[in-house]
Amino acid sequence: MTQPDPDDRHETHSAASTVADDLARLILGEMTPGTSLPSEAELAVRYDVSRLTIREAVKILEGRGLLEIARGRKAVVRAPDGSAFADFLTSVIRYDAKGLFDLIEVRLSLEVQSATLAARHSTRAGVAAIESALQGMREAAAGATDLATDAAELRFHSFDVGFHEAIALASGNRVLGYLFEAMSQPLREGFYISRRGHEQRGHTIQDTIDAHQRILDCIKDGNGRAAAEAMRFHLKDTERDIRAALSGRPLRAEPSQ
Amino acid sequence: MTQPDPDDRHETHSAASTVADDLARLILGEMTPGTSLPSEAELAVRYDVSRLTIREAVKILEGRGLLEIARGRKAVVRAPDGSAFADFLTSVIRYDAKGLFDLIEVRLSLEVQSATLAARHSTRAGVAAIESALQGMREAAAGATDLATDAAELRFHSFDVGFHEAIALASGNRVLGYLFEAMSQPLREGFYISRRGHEQRGHTIQDTIDAHQRILDCIKDGNGRAAAEAMRFHLKDTERDIRAALSGRPLRAEPSQ
DNA sequence: TTCCTAAAAGGTATCTGATATCTCGGAGGA
DNA sequence: TCCTCCGAGATATCAGATACCTTTTAGGAA
């Protein structure tokens, strides 16, 4: 809840911030992804500040995910993606364990909706992408039957994430895709915890694959309600895995990244 | 194919980005909001780069919303909020009108969940905040019966947003609160459009207030399912308002901020 | 003529050094 | 004891310079 503050007497904002805000408005308003900004020298002349100030403004926008910067080339406007939100969510779940479950709760809601929408109006290509991810999970699991090695677990995980991401994309709702992308990084840690709990509860990898298969089947049938239910069941089960793995032992504090 | 280049992963971008990533990990991992970073000079020594490079790294983190920077003071770690995601979403809905409806769709899902959770376990203070926002809507509407003036409409709008925000907070799920905060800015434009459509469809302000009252009643009753349904009905109706107002006329392209 | 390569031009990345202005805490006076 | 003022420390911004990367262009070879 921000205070009204209509007239920004708060103008002690630095020159770099001012330039950054102006450029942001320009970029969001009338530039399309792929367009390149004028050179630093040119911007310095236009805003009548030093090149350093322009650089700092551009860095702020890089941090906001609006620009892509490479050495020797002009800065180009970046297509939006969810990464800008990712470390924000990461910081949320770092502060306490409840944050992780809050995130899981939200994720459940969004993924159930994704599944519903994906079943309702997905394209053949969309279904193919989901199928391909599931096939990848199968192969990763076959390669190492118990996911004993880190490499196999990593491969399985990335296909698992890919499965859910493919559903989010197949929903046709881009905001869902961005949110999923933003959530997948902070949920990465949760994944490894959940696999541990999955085994503790006597389940196998095949169970996991079957659960995904059911979701896929419902989507292919175009049955939104069933797809939603299958997704909800799967995620609720994953949540139980995590709770089982965490019961009695605190969330480890050290970041794995 | 690049040369071996063993000690320097050339793939990593600039020195500033490297420092920024390292600082981000530090901040997310082991610093709490309010803590201040070492001074630029000290960081420059620690990372063995010039102060300018540190400045750029810090600017990137400012853009990511991780740091708060003020002149003459060290940079302090910022408590997470949704604003970093807000202008990202704003950029999404700028690119085409479908983005707006994608966002509305996601919002519906999240708000329905908020209502459910708020009904399930809200505190007395949480309910009071929702009630207070609704009372504010009533008074704003009474002050100007048809919301003719911009000021009255603005007041009504902020109480309307406050109502929904209070529900998100009452849900007890902080991630929902952050997401709501991030969405409310880009949806601001949608609000004015919806009010126009509301009138076009022969509805009054009182209808809007009644819809909110119904949601509040369900939450007070602790009836999660009914609260979800009331919220869904209200938001679906709002969506119809927007579609009605937009039918035949394109979304205006000029940014309002 | 066509294709490949190397130099040139333009751009960013980073450093050094200097000045201005702001914040905060402590010294000193009332 | 409390208020005021000042200096130390920190950031903000400037200017100039070098290194390295990318793109373009021009020239030479097939």
Tokens in use for B231?
């919220």
Distance from CA of A10 to the nearest CA of B (A): 12
Residues B50-68 have pLDDT tens digits of 999 999 999 999 988 889 9
For chain A, the structural domain boundaries read 6-77, 83-247
List the single residue in B20, B32, B88 with the smallest CB-CB distance to A84.
Answer: B88
- Strand C: positions under 7 A of a protein C-beta atom: 10-17, 21-24
The C1' atom of C4 and the CA atom of B3 lie apart, in whole Å, by 22
pLDDT interval class at A123 (50, 70, 90): confident
Using CB atoms, pick whichever of B60, B173, B255 lies closest to residue A102: B173
Q: Which nucleotides of strand D are protein-proximal, with an atom < 7 A from a CB?
A: 9-16, 20-23
The answer to whether the Cβ–Cβ distance between A85 and B85 falls below 8 Å is: yes
Q: Which residues in chain B, range 17-56, keep a C-beta under 7 Å from any nucleic strand D atom?
A: 37, 39-41, 52, 55
Q: Phi, psi (5° rounding) for residue A36?
A: -105, 145
Compute the mean pLDDT over every residue in chain A, rounded to the nearest whole number: 84
| Among A231, A222, A243, A215, CA closest to A100 | A243
Phi and psi at A68, nearest 5°, equal -115, 130
CATH of A83-247, one of 2.60.40.10, 1.20.120.530, 3.40.50.2300, 1.10.240.10: 1.20.120.530
Cβ of residue B131 lies below 7 Å from strand C: no
Residue B68 β-bridge partners: B76
> B15 beta carbon < 7 A from strand C?
yes
Q: A222 to each of A108, A117, A214, how far by Cα in Å?
A: 20, 9, 13
| CATH 1.10.10.10 at A6-77, yes or no | yes
Name the nucleotide nearest A54; use CA and C1': D13
The whole-number Å distance from A39's CA to C10's C1' is 10
Sorting pLDDT into bands at 50, 70 and 90, what band is A2? very low
The per-residue pLDDT for range A219-255, each reduced to its tens digit, is 999 999 999 999 999 999 999 998 988 875 544 444 4
pLDDT of A9: 34
Which burial class, exposed, middle or buried, applies to B244 when counting CB atoms under 10 A from its CB (0-12, 13-18, 19+)? middle
Q: What is the pLDDT of residues B170-220, one digit of tens each?
A: 999 989 998 998 898 888 877 888 888 888 888 888 999 999 999 999 999
Residue A52 contacts residue A40 (beta carbons within 8 Å): no
Task: Indicate whether A72 pLDDT > 90.
Answer: no
